[in-house]
Amino acid sequence: MSKVNLKEFEDLLELWKVLFTLDDSFYFKILLELNLDSLDSIATYRYIIRFLELWGVRQSAIKLNPQELCRKIIEFKPILNELETSLIYTNLNEVKTKIEYAFESFSSIKYVGPTSASKILHLLKPSFFVMWDRAIAKYYECDMTMEGYFNFLTEMKDAINTLLKQYSEKYLNEKPEEALSRKYGGKPLTKLIDEYNWLKTRIWLNKVIKLVKQGSF
């Protein structure tokens, strides 16, 4: 049974809109400008490593070798291209080996690890891979291994489909995927579920919510 419900999901995403508009601008700029067909070490640093620095893993990201990471991404492009574009329309069991191999290949790079691997994969395939960190993995009771990440993706697919069903029923919308994405700035649902997960698992959340409601944040 999914741990996500639409009411809490929408509440937390409204909070995200208040707190993280600059983060969203940077995120969209990366998705717009990152071109895997012309990727080089400069673009790898400018977009991917800088994203890691700003998305909570700076201490390890600043040690990454952009040339090595660039080579790995280029090497991995054919496998990424074999995956469906959208997580929710994919039979994950049919591509389990590819998902686990992708995750393990990136997480085993020096200074990457399981958290950064999920962030890199998300940038490479935004509507398929979902980001996580240790707190999120713990919340969903998933080990931070390649098998644990596959289980996490499976749970995220179920969670997104649950949200879409609830959204369709609440708003009588026949295209909930498009409507939900549009409501929150056009971000992919995989990014929206990450925002929910991230806020849901922050221990300081209740204090921030109170400050926002008081208008004193």
pLDDT tens column, 25-66: 999 999 999 999 999 999 998 998 888 888 777 777 788 889
Nearest 5 degrees, angle CA 176-CA 28-CA 174? 10
Give CA–CA dist 151/50, Å, rounded.
28
Whether residue 183 contacts residue 82, with contact meaning beta carbons closer than 8 Å, is answered with: no
Give CA–CA dist 190/123, Å, rounded.
11
Could you list the mean pLDDT of each consecutive 10-residue stretch along the chain, which spans 217 residues? 86 92 93 93 90 80 87 92 92 96 92 93 97 96 98 98 94 89 96 96 74 63
**pLDDT score recorded for residue 172:** 85
SS3 34: coil
Note whether residue 194 is domain-resident: yes
Note whether residue 37 is domain-resident: yes
**pLDDT score recorded for residue 173:** 80
Note whether residue 187 is domain-resident: yes
**pLDDT score recorded for residue 1:** 58
Q: How many domains does the chain have?
A: 1
Tell me the C-alpha to C-alpha distance, in Å, between residue 140 and each of 48, 79, 122. Answer: 26, 27, 19
Q: 0.85 exceeded by the pTM?
A: yes
**Residue-number span of the structural domain to which 84 is assigned:** 6-212
Note whether residue 36 is domain-resident: yes
Note whether residue 178 is domain-resident: yes
**pLDDT score recorded for residue 210:** 66
**pLDDT score recorded for residue 214:** 67
Residue 167 buriedness (CB in 10 A; 0-12 / 13-18 / 19+): buried
Note whether residue 1 is domain-resident: no
**pLDDT score recorded for residue 56:** 75
Note whether residue 163 is domain-resident: yes
